[in-house]
Amino acid sequence: MRSEDLPILDDSTAQALRDSFSGFSGAGLSRRGLLGGAMAGGLLATPLSALAQTAPSDQGQAEITVDQARNAPIPIVVPSFGEGLGDQISSVVAADLESTGLFKVLPGQAGVTGVPDFAALKAQGARALVAGLAAGSGSVRVEMRLWDVLTGQQLQGTAYTASSANWRRIAHIIGDVVYERMLGEKGYFDTRIAYIARTGPRHRQITRLAIMDYDGANERILTSGQWLTLTPRFNPVRDQVAFLSYANDRPRVYLFNLASGAQRMLGEFQGISFAPRFSPNGSQVVLSATRGAGSDIFIFDLASGSKRQITNSGAIDTSPCFSPDGSRIVFNSDRGGSPQLYVMSASGDGVQRISYGNGRYGSPVWSPRGDQIAFVRLSGGQFSLGVMAPDGSGERILTQGFTIDSPSFCPNGRVLAFCRQSAARAGGAGFSSGLGMIDITGFNERPLRTSTGASDPAWSPLNT
């Protein structure tokens, strides 16, 4: 897929928004294989000629803050990019923007290829316009222009060229461009979610490792379901997912190669290994391993195969997660008598408890921004999903339910995916397990539709 950025209003060449991306290769799951190879079938973004006379003074300046958009969603027009594929692309762009709760998509007339009728758009109450045109069949070219309706300025112009099979990625990338230009933060639409697909009766569920686009499209099942499978985690820099498998009735952490489909066990531990998470640079995995009645936290080096134990409390130390800079680890431990959250250095030194609310805490995960830690709390027989600062201050509950677990941040740290399960009646009737998303302020909670029951979501970084 190739794409071209269109110059902004002063006709200067805009920086390409994306390097080249490959189509699916190998097992049909890799999205990194041909990075940089636009002429080999990836995506290239290049500028298009501007259509207006003046330019904004700062191309990177946000039009509206996220807080402003949360209180008053941005009215934006996303007309069809043309019949067939063009209509599909603009529909996905509109759905991406509206799903955030930060944009209100208004109807618009198709075929806006020149300078828009700003007076008509203002009368409609629009703040911005995403105009586009898609052409081609086997190879498709998609042109996109983002306009500020109030100033009449073109904020972004880009043309994308790619195999038509990659049309959904083009749409998500366009959505990310609009999100960033309007709000001043990276978008998160060109991402995927790994999860556990669940089928069958409540007490005999078949669990399979699965992957899909962030919006639930392009679902793919990766494992057979022969063995219980849990807790997938993306490698931030490689085509790789770590997960827990009970293969041969022996729970171990495995690595799944998204390019080849190959699986391998991660190291040898005397007890059970579980709760894996990658380091920010993807070179290490931090995990728990049982020892007697307790468990300790280890760091496993992927290149050398060496492992290093960093806790030895005699308690159950589990659910470790690196901070974004790799210098600290948050984890769950019952060393104080009940499961609580603790933070320590990546070497295991300086352990400090950070959770002091009413209840038991677990499933901590550090925000990509570094300013929040998400967690699950059990209190009074009810589960809650919340966030707190890394020092334990500012605890806030976002949502509650019968069972809530497995929080995972999107790449910009604004949204959490999580698992929500319902209570089961006699014989397992009425049980459901599904995925949801919620803004870190507790705003805009919504379900994420999957074709089967689902749990254990793990959000990928951008472009994986």
Please state whether beta strands 229-234 and 103-106 pair in parallel, antiparallel, or not at all (unpaired): unpaired
Residue 262: per-residue pLDDT: 94
Predicted local distance difference test score (pLDDT) of residue 48? 73
Is residue 28 pLDDT above 70, yes or no? Answer: no
Q: Report whether 355 contacts 388 (CB < 8 A).
A: yes
The per-residue pLDDT for range 58-109, each reduced to its tens digit, is 444 567 999 999 999 999 999 999 999 999 999 999 999 999 999 999 988 7
Q: What is the pLDDT of residues 187-226, one digit of tens each?
A: 999 999 999 999 998 888 999 999 999 999 999 999 999 9
Residue with tokens 């499933």: 363
The superfamily (CATH) of domain 2-183 is TolB, N-terminal domain (3.40.50.10070)
One DSSP character per residue, 122-154 reads HHHT-SEEEEEEEEESSEEEEEEEEEETTTTEE
C-beta contacts of 244-250 below 8 A and 24+ residues apart: 244/273, 244/274, 244/275, 244/276
**H or E element in which residue 459 lies:** strand 453-459
Helix intervals (H) in 61-115: 66-71, 85-99
Beta-carbon count within 10 A of 72 CB: 11
37: pLDDT strictly greater than 50: no
Does the pLDDT at position 460 exceed 80?
Answer: yes
DSSP letter (8 states) at residue 78: -
Which segments of the chain belong to CATH 2.120.10.30?
A: 192-459
**Residue 29's pLDDT band (boundaries 50, 70, 90)?**
low
- Identity of the residue numbered 215: D
Whether residue 25 is predicted with pLDDT greater than 50 in this model: the reply is: no
CA distance 297 to 277: 11
pLDDT score for 22 = 27
Which amino acid, 387? V
Average pLDDT over residues 317-324: 98
> What is the layout of strands, in order, in the sheet containing 433-439?
403-409, 415-421, 433-439, 446-448
**Residues with Cβ < 8 Å from 57, sequence gap 6 or more?**
none
CATH number, span 192-459: 2.120.10.30
Query: What residues pair up with 157 in beta bridges, in sequence order?
Result: 6, 145
Answer whether 246's CB lies under 8 Å from 229's CB: yes
Spatial separation of the C-alpha atoms in residues 338 and 361, rounded to whole Å = 8
Question: How far apart are alpha carbons 170 and 142 in whole angstroms?
Answer: 8
Q: What is the pLDDT of residues 284-307, one digit of tens each?
A: 999 999 988 899 999 999 999 999
CATH 3.40.50.10070 residue ranges for the chain: 2-183
3-state secondary structure of 428: helix
What whole-number distance in Å separates Cα of residue 39 and Cα of residue 2?
Answer: 8
Greatest alpha-carbon pair distance for the chain in Å reads: 73
Helix/strand/coil for 183: helix
pTM (predicted TM-score)? 0.89
Structure tokens at 258: 């998204």
Structure tokens at 59: 């191309």
Alpha carbon distance 342, 390 (integer Å):
9
CA 407, CA 374: separation in Å to the nearest integer?
A: 7
Expressed in angstroms, the distance from the first to the final Cα of the chain is 15
Residues paired with residue 104 on neighbouring β-strands, in sequence order: 75
Would you say 403 and 410 are in contact if contact means Cβ atoms under 8 Å apart?
no
- Confidence tier at 338 by pLDDT (50, 70, 90): very high
For residue range 137-162, list pLDDT tens digits in order: 889 999 999 999 999 999 999 999 99
Q: Identify the weakest region by mean pLDDT among 261-265, 268-272, 307-311, 414-418.
A: 268-272
* Cα angle 197, 239, 228; round to 5: 30
Q: Where are the beta strands (DSSP E) in 200-336?
A: 206-213, 220-221, 229-234, 240-245, 252-257, 263-265, 273-278, 284-291, 294-301, 307-309, 317-322, 328-333
Quote the crossing angle between the two packed helices 167-183 and 85-99, to the nearest 10°.
40
Q: How many C-beta atoms surround the C-beta of residue 302 within 10 A? A: 19
